[in-house]
Amino acid sequence: MEELILAMVGLAIAAAGGICLSRLTYYKNKGVQAEATVIDSKETKKRTGIYLGNISITFKVTTSFVHTLKYFIDGAWYEEPDNAGYTQAMENGTKRNILCDPKNPKKFRYEDEVQRNIRITGALIAMALIFAGRFLYSYLK
């Protein structure tokens, strides 16, 4: 019975990876490609810890940068912030290739990250299926 439960966990992980992979391939196959220019970088700090009334204990402070990109699609200019959360700032004027959602050009992803994430997600799905197959084989044996 434990083998069956572990096999189902592996299949659930593979299914979640499949959903993520379908979103990434949507951007890769149907996304509108554009060249974007970084026009602004803002530093954001996030604190993680425990907050109990007047007492706060901070475990970690993370710094990331939000970049505002300007790009031209379908006769309109857009200036939108990214959601990537880079730990190092890009210089103003830096050009990056992006893939925009054809239905909503305000949503975009960096082209090189989409390709890298497709490979990583595919490998993780394969590992989850091997994991599930191993325990399913043990259960049926």
Residue 58 near residue 49 (C-beta atoms within 8 A): yes
8 A C-beta contact, residue 105 and residue 76? yes
Q: What pLDDT score was predicted for residue 43?
A: 85
Distances (CA, A) of 78 to 3, 5, 89, 95, 130: 52, 48, 20, 15, 44
Q: What is the pLDDT of residue 45?
A: 78
Parallel/antiparallel/unpaired status of strands 55-73 and 95-100: unpaired
pLDDT at 58: 66
- What separation in angstroms does the CA of 108 have from each of 10, 27, 55? 31, 8, 40
The per-residue pLDDT for 86 is 81
Amino acid at 46: K
CA 50, 55, 58 angle in degrees (round to 5)?
A: 40
Interstrand relation of 76-81 and 55-73 (parallel, antiparallel or unpaired): antiparallel
* Phi, psi values for residue 94, rounded to 5°: -70, 135
pLDDT in tens, the chain (141 residues): 899 999 999 999 999 999 999 999 999 999 999 999 999 988 887 767 776 767 767 677 778 888 999 999 988 999 999 877 787 888 899 999 999 998 999 999 999 999 999 999 999 999 999 999 999 999 998
Exposed (0-12), middle (13-18) or buried (19+): which is 64, by Cβ within 10 Å? middle
